[in-house]
Structure 1
Amino acid sequence: MTKQNIEHYPHPPIPPMAADDEIDLRELFAALWQGKWLIIAITFVFAVGGVGYSLSLPNTYKSEALLAPVNDQGGGGLASMAGQLGGLASLAGVNLDSGGGSETQIALATLKSRHFISEFVHANALEVPLMATTGWDQDSGEWQIDPERYNPDTKTWLKPEGARENKPAAPTDWELYKAFSDLLAIKEQKDNGLVTISFESESPILAKRVTEQLVAAINARMKADKLQETNTNIAYLRQQLENTNLTQMQNVFYQLIEEQTKSLMLAEVQDEFVFKTVDPAIVPEEKAGPKRALICVLSTLLGGMLAVAILLVRFAFRKDD
């Protein structure tokens, strides 16, 4: 086919764009304007619903404690002794590493563990405030007990409606752990190592008490573990000392026993074993939640967007028809 033939070859006609595929912004805005009362009505309903929902939520209060990791005062001596004795301490089966940083991480992990939280809840009788209350009475300073969940006179738990037959009436450790963990917050500042422990509750008094008890409980737990470990090391070293006749090894065991005894004495006199309280917990006077203004704004925006979406869908179907 020559160039001349190509130039004279008739091009296929371009079909005109369907009018239905075009979006007329004037029609769109006109449809929205016609449905302005629907937008106002739906937005108003959502706004009122958001206000009502936010007002139905109880106030919650958060109590915080700022803590600093305690450096093991005997750590330098133990580390120095471990360096001087080389591998003899490891050969004897004794760990002389003070592990200040690792002890802090272990303490934080213990605070979040299911076993520690379950023991803490039972030890401080927090089952009822966590699982069987309908609110906190600010005037009387007492919890409002849910009569369908707990009988305060007989101190017995009642099985909730709809629960399976084999489920116990009392809350399980897993349920207590989940309820407590939702109210607990632990934050560690990476730059300086400070730790913030906070607990949120409808009762400001309970929030302060739980925060204080948590700090005391984790210090006591880590102290008890350290004392048990050190006593086990001393008993083991004394047994090995009796089984050896080598003067050099006896001197090594004597030095190890001396360092472990120092560590034991230091641990016994330290109440704030892992965390030292920098800023203690207080009874909060300002509520931490709920964010009622934010709830109202979000519900109003949601209502407005839903109303506009409904009008746009109606406009699209009407345009197709």
Structure 2
Amino acid sequence: MTQDTPKAPLTPHNYEPSRHPDYQDDEIDLRELFGIIWQGKWWIIAITFVFAVGSVIYSLSLPNVYKSEATLAPSDESTGGGLSQMAGQLGGLASLAGVNLGGKSADKTTIAIEILQSRAFIKNFVEKYDILPELMAVEEWNRGTGIVYDDEVYNSKSKEWVRDVDPPKQPEPSSWEYVEIFKDEVLVINRDDTKGLISLAVYHQSPEVAERWVNWLISEINNHMRERDIKEAKRSLEYLDDELEKTTLSNMQQVFYQLIEKQTQTIMLANVRPEYIFQVLDPAVIPEQKAKPARALICITAVFLGGIIGIGFVLVRNVFTKPLN
């Protein structure tokens, strides 16, 4: 009977960890991958170079766009003070008389911002100031000659639209078309709820136009909200005058007199406040530096993308050109 030779105990000196069978294959594949990329380095360099040159040409073809911005604060009227506070104090009396004075529940700042971005307001703004060519037909701007219009879009001498478009579009842009351009590419409104401030910015190829449009927009929204409240107050006055003639109760007559007085004050104060809804804290100025495009970022992104595509091309090319075993 033979006795088995006892096995030596495992020690740190004689212990050899077992390797996974795919470990060596993975190492070889990684080396092979780098080898393939190195062999196709000229393809990668060429493709990256094409992307780099293309990005430079593309970025230089983009016009400079300037940003003019104003910082606004809601007025006392829009935040519930002033006239709104007086209306709230008489809200109970007004409800008895059938008149709605609004009050603190009406957030006029939010209403004004929504109106600023509304289709009707932008359409009226473009038509009132006749800025459609500056919105849709500018080719470039420089400090010497100012705005240069695209002759293939708009004839500045005859003031005719000559652009070639497919139906249903017309040579002259429709309100549907230019309102979308204005909302998406020109007007930017940001509201800081923590500070209660509003930022109104306009982007345009001409810094002078950008600054001018910001001031016009602020003036127009203040005037719009003022006229809106004045019309509402006048309608309330007409109603109160009619009801005052109908009633014979002294108590109700007193209520109507107070409401008529407050509506009259509303009209008076609205007419004397130029900054009715928004007060300008930091006015718009003519910018001296462009806001976009970020040409360096465009080129860097294109070079990185070109390198990735070049590596992918080399790897795919190796798959199709590799001989079958």
TM norm. shorter chain > 0.5 = yes
Quote the residue 1:245 is aligned against: 248
Q: SS at the partner of 2:69? A: strand
Matched, 1:129 2:134: yes
Identity %: 46
2:156 paired with 1:152: yes
Residue of structure 2 in register with 1:267 after alignment: 270
Task: Indicate the SS of the match to 2:217.
Answer: helix
| 2:85 equivalent to 1:76 | yes
Name the residue aligned to 1:171. 173
Q: Could you tell me which residue of structure 2 aligns to residue 4 of structure 1?
A: none
Q: Residues 167 and 60 of structure 1: is their aligned pair in 2 closer, same or farther, counting only changes over 3 Å?
A: closer
Q: Which digits, 9 at most, give the CA deviation of each residue in 1:50-105, with x for residues without a partner?
A: 112111111111000000000121232222222xxx3x412322122234861100
What one-letter code is carried by the residue in structure 2 that aligns with 1:25? Answer: L
Q: By how many angstroms is 1:284 displaced?
A: 0.3
> Is residue 235 from structure 1 mapped to residue 238 from structure 2 by the alignment?
yes
2:180 maps to amino acid: K
- The verdict on how the C-alpha distance between 1:100 and 1:196 changes in structure 2, with shifts beyond 3 A counting, is farther
The answer to whether the Cα contact below 8 Å between 1:71 and 1:100 also exists between their aligned partners in 2 is no
Residue 182 of structure 2 is matched in structure 1 by 180
CA–CA distance in structure 1, aligned partners of residues 62 and 106 of structure 2: 41
Kindly tell me: are residues 100 and 144 of structure 1, through their superposed partners in 2, closer, same or farther at Cα, counting changes over 3 Å? Answer: farther
- Residue identity matched to 1:258: E
Secondary structure at 2:288 match in 1: coil
Match of 1:96 in 2: 101
Q: Write the letter of the residue equivalent to 1:77.
A: M
Report deviation, 1:22.
9.5
How many Å apart are 1:313 and its aligned residue?
1.5
Tell me the amino acid that sits aligned with residue 156 of structure 1.
E
Which whole-Å CA distance do the structure 1 matches of 2:164 and 2:282 have between them? 44
Cα distance in 1 for partners of 2:261, 2:39 equals: 90
Question: Unaligned regions of 5+ residues in structure 2, if any?
Answer: 1-20
* CA contact 2:75–2:276 (8 Å) conserved in 1: yes
Where in structure 2 are the equivalents of 1:1-321 lying within 5 Å? Answer: 24-72=29-77, 73-82=82-91, 86=92, 88-99=93-104, 102-141=107-146, 143-158=147-162, 160-164=163-167, 167-181=169-183, 182-318=185-321, 321=324
Which sections of structure 1, spanning at least 5 residues, go unmatched? 1-15
The answer (yes or no) to whether the contact 2:189–2:201 under 8 Å persists in 1 is yes
Letter of the structure 2 residue corresponding to residue 172 of structure 1: S
Residue aligned with 2:203, SS: strand
TM-score (normalised: structure 2): 0.86
TM-score by length of 1: 0.87
Structure 1: how far apart are the matches of 2:98 and 2:182? Answer: 39
Distance 1:55 1:170 in 2: 28
SS in 2 for 1:198: strand
Confirm or deny: 8 A CA contact 1:64 1:198 kept in the other structure. Answer: yes
Cα distance between partner residues in 1 of 2:258 and 2:165: 65
C-alpha separation in 2, matches of 1:101 and 1:318: 72
* 1:11-69, Cα deviation, whole Å (9 max, x unpaired): xxxxx99x999971111111101001111111111111111211111111100000000
